[in-house]
């Protein structure tokens, strides 16, 4: 059967774009399918590349992947810089601060976990931290510094990856890499067998794309694609986040030089300073199902951020956004091939469920998918296989 592309990537969020670009750089022809590129969780994300400060109890399995991806970032963005395309990457450090005594204790516990995993966290005196960041408020109980956690502006990176893909597109013109349509279903070599090889994607507009590999990287939308392999369960759930973008008036600049992550009466809040002088203030985690910006969420963010940095009250509200993170039961991604009848479904890769870490994990996802496409999957990442919540598939593959 004739192919339209070597690889069809469904979803042009940060993960799909990263996978598409890495595949294109490896010499594969690529088509990305998305009615509205960059409009999902990627549009909201703060872009903290924070494997250490994001380390949580019971998510320790993720640490190897988050650290590997953070380490890949410089080489992942280097070709963008070489082509004169902005990536939005900033090697700013991270300060972790607590408000009251209970926050200090909670952060001390977390520091033990970070140290247990060999991660450097440097405790700072309050005078020292205020010398570093004079806008921090007087009510802090503790502070520490994590040098290796950085940031990227996901909107700039997504735009940069789109520009890079347009630059690498051949044959069909600069927009040939992108189909602004919705993927509706997987096409199979045997249309009556959803576990047979995947040969392409049927689109809502009525056309189809034929490809040697189909990568489902459409976040929460992955579970709704027709023709998924029989028995595959994708337990994705939306975890909404409210996030603010604030403009800093000239006399207050720079408000901060490092990302500040705080715990205020047990609630996490962060401020990420961007290169253009703005600050990103986030983020809530809601499972109430509402996709709209929550008034209570905005109130909570502004209230808690002012404890850390009182001058937040003097900033201009540029934007309030809410988007859904694609959550999974173990907070880890669904990444890799799918088992069927003791082997894997040829032509299909899943890359979804990146929850709070999709921006950080994009380079690792791209690398893992490239290796899978080349037939060189790394068993070290098998624990993130997308069929791990599908007992019938796992049982069959063990038989």
Binding site for ligand FAD (CB under 6 A): 10-16, 33-34, 36-42, 44-48, 182-183, 217-219, 221, 241, 243, 282-283, 323, 325-326, 352, 354-360
Minimum CB distance to ligand FAD smaller for 260 or for 396: 260
Minimum CB distance to ligand FAD smaller for 65 or for 107: 65
Largest CA distance in the chain: 69
Minimum CB distance to ligand FAD smaller for 132 or for 321: 321
Which residues have CB under 8 Å from 84's CB, separation 6+?
A: none
Of 245, 293, 346, 268, nearest in space to 96 by CA: 268
CB of 12 to ligand FAD, least distance (A): 5
Q: Residue for token digits 């796992």?
A: 394
Tell me the two tokens of residue 205. 């507009």
Instruction: Yes or no: say if 128 and 16 are a contact pair by the CB < 8 Å rule.
Output: no
How far apart are alpha carbons 284 and 290 in whole angstroms?
Answer: 12
CB of 50 to ligand FAD, least distance (A): 7
For helices 358-373 and 154-168, the axis angle rounded to 10 degrees is: 30
Could you give the angle at the alpha carbon of 129 between the alpha carbons of 124 and 134, nearest 5°? Answer: 175
CB of 161 to ligand FAD, least distance (A): 11
Instruction: Yes or no: say if 61 and 186 are a contact pair by the CB < 8 Å rule.
Output: no
Minimum CB distance to ligand FAD smaller for 283 or for 312: 283
CB of 354 to ligand FAD, least distance (A): 4
CB of 158 to ligand FAD, least distance (A): 8
Minimum CB distance to ligand FAD smaller for 130 or for 185: 185
CA dist list (Å): 269 to 9, 85, 299:
34, 31, 12
Tell me the two tokens of residue 106. 């909670």
Hey, is 94 helix, strand or coil? strand
CB of 70 to ligand FAD, least distance (A): 10
For helices 358-373 and 63-82, the axis angle rounded to 10 degrees is: 80
Minimum CB distance to ligand FAD smaller for 64 or for 341: 64
How far apart are alpha carbons 80 and 22 in whole angstroms?
Answer: 12
Instruction: Yes or no: say if 34 and 12 are a contact pair by the CB < 8 Å rule.
Output: yes
Minimum CB distance to ligand FAD smaller for 143 or for 283: 283
Instruction: Yes or no: say if 16 and 71 are a contact pair by the CB < 8 Å rule.
Output: no
Minimum CB distance to ligand FAD smaller for 365 or for 396: 365
CB of 29 to ligand FAD, least distance (A): 19
CB of 43 to ligand FAD, least distance (A): 7
CB of 361 to ligand FAD, least distance (A): 7
Minimum CB distance to ligand FAD smaller for 315 or for 362: 362
Of 84, 371, 341, nearest in space to 213 by CA: 371
């Amino acid at each position: 059967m004739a192919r339209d592309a070597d690889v069809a990537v469904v979803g042009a969020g940060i993960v799909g774009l990263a996978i598409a670009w890495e595949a294109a750089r490896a010499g594969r022809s690529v088509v990305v399918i998305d009615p509205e590129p960059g409009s999902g969780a990627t549009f909201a994300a703060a872009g903290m590349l924070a494997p250490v400060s994001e380390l949580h109890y019971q998510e320790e399995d993720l640490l190897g992947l988050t650290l590997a991806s953070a380490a890949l970032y410089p080489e992942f963005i280097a070709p963008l810089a070489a082509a004169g395309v902005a990536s939005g990457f900033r090697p700013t450090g991270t300060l972790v601060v607590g408000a009251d005594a209970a926050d200090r204790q909670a952060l001390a516990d977390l520091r033990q976990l970070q140290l247990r995993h060999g991660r450097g966290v440097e405790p700072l005196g309050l005078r020292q931290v205020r010398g570093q960041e004079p806008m921090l408020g007087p009510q802090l109980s503790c502070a520490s510094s994590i040098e290796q956690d950085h940031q990227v502006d996901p909107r700039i990176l997504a735009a940069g990856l789109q520009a890079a893909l347009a630059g690498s597109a051949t044959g069909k013109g600069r927009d040939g890499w992108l189909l602004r349509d919705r993927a509706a279903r997987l096409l199979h070599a045997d249309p009556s067998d959803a576990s047979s090889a995947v040969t392409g994607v049927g689109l809502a507009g009525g056309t189809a794309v034929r490809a040697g590999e189909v990568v489902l990287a459409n976040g929460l939308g992955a579970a709704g694609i027709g023709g998924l392999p029989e028995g595959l369960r994708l337990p994705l759930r939306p975890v909404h986040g409210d996030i603010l973008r604030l403009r800093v008036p000239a006399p207050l600049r720079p408000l901060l030089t490092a990302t500040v992550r705080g715990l205020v009466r047990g609630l996490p809040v962060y401020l990420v300073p961007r290169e253009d002088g703005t600050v990103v203030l986030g983020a809530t985690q809601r499972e109430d199902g509402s996709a709209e910006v929550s008034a209570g969420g905005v109130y909570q963010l502004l209230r808690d951020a002012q404890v850390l940095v009182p001058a937040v009250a003097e900033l201009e509200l540029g934007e309030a956004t809410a988007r859904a993170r694609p959550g999974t039961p173990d907070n880890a991604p669904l990444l890799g091939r799918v088992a069927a009848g003791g082997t894997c479904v040829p032509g299909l890769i899943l890359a979804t469920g990146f929850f709070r870490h999709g921006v950080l994990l994009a380079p690792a996802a791209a690398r893992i998918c490239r290796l899978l496409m080349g037939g060189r999957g790394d068993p070290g990442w098998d624990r993130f296989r997308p069929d791990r919540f599908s007992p019938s598939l796992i049982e069959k593959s063990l038989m």
